[in-house]
Amino acid sequence: GNSVTQMEGPVTLSEEAFLTINCTYTATGYPSLFWYVQYPGEGLQLLLKATKADDKGSNKGFEATYRKETTSFHLEKGSVQVSDSAVYFCAHATNTGNQFYFGTGTSLTVIP
């Protein structure tokens, strides 16, 4: 079946710390992989994506690499800011793109 597993939160970091949020997936074929971010009181927004093995998605200092051999798509940022505080969701789309599967979300709080 299709599923996404991401690390449990909440995660609390000091400003300028290094961030890693782990994500692994189960899917048929070779899905596209995504990270979405949800700020308080808002809907989800696309943060970055990758469409094939070894692709690296990047945006706003965040990066994630599509690792087919480990079925993973871990999110990283070298130096987090208070404004990065949000809930982060890992997701994949089926080959047809009709259905997206989301992880449970990881809440990140960055303290000054």
Long-range CB contacts (within 8 A, 24+) of 53-60? 57/33
97 or 112, CB closer to other proteins?
A: 97
28 or 112, CB closer to other proteins?
A: 28
Question: Please, which of residues 71-100 interact with other proteins by CB under 8 A?
Answer: 89, 91, 93, 96-100
**Under DSSP, is residue 78 helix (H, G, I), strand (E, B) or coil?**
coil
Specify whether the CB–CB gap between 103 and 35 falls below 8 A: no
- If you search the block for the tokens 């999110």, which residue do you land on? 75
Does residue number 44 form part of the binding site for other proteins (CB under 8 A)? yes
Chain residues in the site for other proteins (CB under 8 A): 4, 32, 34, 36, 41-46, 49, 51, 89, 91, 93, 96-105
